[in-house]
A and B are shown apart, each in its own frame.
Chain A
Amino acid sequence: MSDGLSPPLGAARDAASVLYLDGVSVVFDGFRALNNLSLIVGAGELRAIIGPNGAGKTTMMDVITGKTRPTEGVVRFRDHDLTRLDEATIANLGIGRKFQKPTMFDALTVFENLELALKAPRGPVACLRWALSGEARRRIEAVMEEVGLTARSRDRAAILSHGQRQWLEIGMLLMQDPELLLVDEPVAGMTDQETEHTAALLVRIAGRRSVVVVEHDLEFVRALGSKVTVLCEGSMLSEGSIDHVQNDPRVIEVYLGR
């Protein structure tokens, strides 16, 4: 199955599949940002998604996280129809997202940012009564350690460097403890060493959870060693191992351009 050019769409959904997209299209004013896209991500799978600018990668993430409603098609997370749910509900189902442009709360400290992301009751009254337990503190400290921000715990997010912001956002994603992680361009602005570290981190996470990574950096994708899906003009162009897609003539033509 892994070397097939397209997944078996007609087949019954794999019981182990976590994310299931079928025939998804998104039309803005006649422009098809997604065109009959289908994608299946299994439990614990790490999947890389590549494609040229405007291929629909971010729109796909928007559709999964409830930011954009598909014009047509099926989007399911386990047994939930995501096309009917709002962002907060989807996030609480266990889908975490890291944005292409690192987005966090600049007025809050690193610690506070992570505290907000920590999986805990989300209602206003619960937040008002919330007291940080020893265990929660230990979890936050562990994640800070993991993303290398322990020293900056009390600094406001506004003064972090771009790479540190990337890390903080990955840290927030870990705090949410999601079943499915959507990671948009995690290594932009990182040093080579940090890139390697990130790849290792994502691979490690993928054992327990499903991870979808959108990335331009092909070396990074190679380091992930995962199945790769190539998007182009809103549809899937090719799917398989990194070597497979790099040798696919259609991919070479539209994307690699060599």
Chain B
Amino acid sequence: MTSLILRMAFLLLLALPAWAQEKDYAATLPGLAGGFGEIAGAVERLGALGDPRALPVLQALQEGKLLKAGDGHVLVPRGAGYADAATGAPADPAGAEPVRLNNRVRQALRGALGRLQLVSPDAVERGAAAEAIFRSRSAEDVPLLQAAIGREQDAGVRARLELALAAAQLVAPDDSVKRDAIARLGAAGTVEARALLLEARAAAPALAGPIEAAIARIDQSLAIRRAAETLFQGLSLGSVLLLAALGLAVTFGVMGVINMAHGEFVMLGAYATFAVQELCRGIPWLAPWSLPLSVPAAFLVTAACGALLERGLIRHLYGRPLETLLMTFGVGMIIQQAVRLAFGAQNREVISPSWMQGTITLPGGVAVTQNRLWIIVFGLLVLALVFAAIRLTRFGLEMRAVVQNRRIAATMGIRTGRVDAMTFAFGSGLAGMAGVALSQIDNVSPNLGTGYIIDSFMVVVFGGVGSLAGTLVGALTLGVVNKMLEPYAGAVLAKVFVLVAIMLFIQRRPKGLFALKGRAAES
């Protein structure tokens, strides 16, 4: 019995603030129809009440759309007409005039709106509210923020609320609260927290010790995050190099054919992507899938070109690498000029599908762009494809047999000419797939390939000719090293340094990172 009473009393206690709030809300509204001082007071009270109904009222006030009727009622716009702010009943705006603002009211509004948005059901609004409170920080917001943090489900919003709370606590009178806030800001490890601490150091010299420690901690975590972001950018550049170099790893690494038109095959792949996009444009349900469709299309187009090039020209020059180099360079020029005449010299735009756009934030605040992330994934998938093709298929077996001993392979009934053509077509097709990826991050223009060809050869030479693992490690290393040098040397000098470094590296390991050893490597 007693427990029942207690429970009822408890429930009543919970309901009481709501009831009180209800009364206060209605009682506060007329203040908005008064002078500037009264308006500012009413705004602050409404903000402190935390009643969701106050939100549209204050928003209308901020936009200058709140009307005051002569009798102290205020009207908010609703749909095409107006409603009484206290009762919600439709009202006639005739004779009512807008509530005017001054700077004091505006300031009060910002704080109040911030607090009210904290209870909004929309996470974006709550995040914006946390941001607003962070900027207008005052010690009075502390309980409000603590309550909001308790309710908050969204991790991102919660982090921003915590930051706002720490900011508010930094201006609190109590030193122990400040120390606590400083420690938490140090743990947050963001640029904003660092700025806040610097500000607090100037304001409270007594706390310089803990503040310095917290800043040092932030600097450390910022450094780690920067390193992680550099690593990501490096991996992303590395996977672009990987994609461009994988085809070379097959044609140059496995077959020993040096194809200077490889860059042009990459470019053709990018144009194939553009062409597929244009074809899909007219078919609404197909349009979002044009990029995935481009992958096989680009592969087939460039593989066909590759087969044609190998059968038509390259095969007559086997065993004469320097001539092959010059000849394929000429073929590259012809392809480039043909594309320039066919598609024009200007850049063509390939649109990224929506699922590849935007940025995502990894734990720890590392921001990565979606398209770069997809290119890393794509690069690894293509690597897996190449590995599988070489190691697990009949074609791969025949290819390896022909490479190792052409004459014996022929006597075993392998049609070596066909294997050569298919291998070269495969490598060229890989170039086309690289072109699909490049169309997402680079300008699709006739000289797209020239920028990548030298880098890809460097990858293959650095990694070790004929080794897929070498190509992977070589590409990623070059990508990461390039990006690591960039902050110090700038993009161009970084590239120059990397080229010089590769030349010096080849001094120590002339056959690259993953050199083939033994008799097979001698020839």
Contact = CB atoms under 8 A, between A and B. Distances in A.
Direct contact of A and B (CB under 8 A): yes
Interface of A: 28-29, 31
Contacts of A28: 517-519
Contacts of A31: 518
Contacts of B517: 28-29
Contacts of B518: 28-29, 31
Contacts of A29: 517-518
The bracket for how many chain B residues form the interface is under 10
Interface in B487-521: 517-519
Contacts of B519: 28
6 contacts: A28-B517, A28-B518, A28-B519, A29-B517, A29-B518, A31-B518
Nearest to B519: A28
A11 B517 CA distance: 36
A29 B519 CA distance: 10
A59 to B, nearest CB: 10
B507 to A, nearest CB: 15
A29 B522 CA distance: 13
A156 B477 CA distance: 49
B479 to A, nearest CB: 30
Interface of B: 517-519
Nearest to B517: A29
A77 to B, nearest CB: 24
Nearest to B521: A28
A217 to B, nearest CB: 25
Please list the 6 inter-chain residue pairs (A to B) with the smallest Cβ-Cβ separation, ordered nearest first.
A28-B518, A29-B517, A29-B518, A28-B517, A31-B518, A28-B519
B129 to A, nearest CB: 66
B511 to A, nearest CB: 13
A141 B431 CA distance: 58
A31 B517 CA distance: 10
Nearest to A59: B519
Nearest to B518: A28
B508 to A, nearest CB: 15
A99 B519 CA distance: 17
A99 to B, nearest CB: 14
A39 B486 CA distance: 57
B467 to A, nearest CB: 13
Nearest to B516: A29
A55 B206 CA distance: 84
A243 B518 CA distance: 36
A139 to B, nearest CB: 35
A138 to B, nearest CB: 40
A258 B519 CA distance: 31
A29 B518 CA distance: 6
A29 B517 CA distance: 6
A28 B520 CA distance: 10
B125 to A, nearest CB: 66
B65 to A, nearest CB: 81
B509 to A, nearest CB: 14
A17 B517 CA distance: 34
A222 B154 CA distance: 93
B320 to A, nearest CB: 15
A28 B515 CA distance: 12
A31 B520 CA distance: 12
A221 B198 CA distance: 91
A28 B518 CA distance: 5
A29 B516 CA distance: 9
A155 to B, nearest CB: 25
A88 B518 CA distance: 23
B103 to A, nearest CB: 81
A69 to B, nearest CB: 12
B114 to A, nearest CB: 69
A168 B106 CA distance: 103
A31 B518 CA distance: 8
B341 to A, nearest CB: 43
A192 to B, nearest CB: 31
A31 B519 CA distance: 10
A31 B521 CA distance: 14
A165 B125 CA distance: 90
A258 B518 CA distance: 32
Nearest to A28: B518
B405 to A, nearest CB: 16
A31 B522 CA distance: 15
A71 to B, nearest CB: 12
A28 B522 CA distance: 11
B517 to A, nearest CB: 5
B466 to A, nearest CB: 14
A28 B517 CA distance: 6
B339 to A, nearest CB: 41
A224 to B, nearest CB: 29
A46 B27 CA distance: 122
B21 to A, nearest CB: 81
A28 B519 CA distance: 8
A254 to B, nearest CB: 21
Nearest to A67: B522
